Amino acid sequence: MKIKIGNAVSLSTPESFKITTDDRQTMIQTDGGNVVQDYGHIASGDKITLTATFHKDNFILVWNYFQTRTLITFIDPSGITWQSMRVKVISYGYFSRFEDYITCELELWTI
């Protein structure tokens, strides 16, 4: 399955796809046992990391979302739609002899 970031569509399924939750609980070790400090799960702090390949024209769209800090709609490989996501381009590079195809590592933040 391809992914969609705003109007940009990937060439194929991302090579990696991971959701990291913002779970704010901590176990505190005490002399008599343990205590849990729990501030809950903060959904607006969840983030998705992935590595995907885009045609140059679609990557430029992703790059512009990153530069302008535009909130986008993201459709993941399973078809789930995520609203109001922010794009962070961590890194990108070209394929040797295929400069029109760009692989990039991205973070998508729920806001």
Domain extents for the chain? Answer: 4-20+43-110
What is the structure's pLDDT at 96?
Answer: 82
Q: How many CA atoms lie within 13 A of 104 on its CB side?
A: 27
Q: For residue range 72-84, what is the model confidence (pLDDT) as tens digits?
A: 999 999 999 999 9
Residue 25 token pair: 């609980």
Residue 58 token pair: 């679609």
What is the structure's pLDDT at 111?
Answer: 85
In 27-95, which ranges are continuous DSSP H helix? 56-68
Gap between the Cα atoms of 82 and 4, Å rounded: 10
In the chain, which ranges are continuous DSSP H helix? 56-68
Percent of the chain, pLDDT > 70?
Answer: 100
Looking at the predicted structure, is the pLDDT value of residue 58 above 90? yes
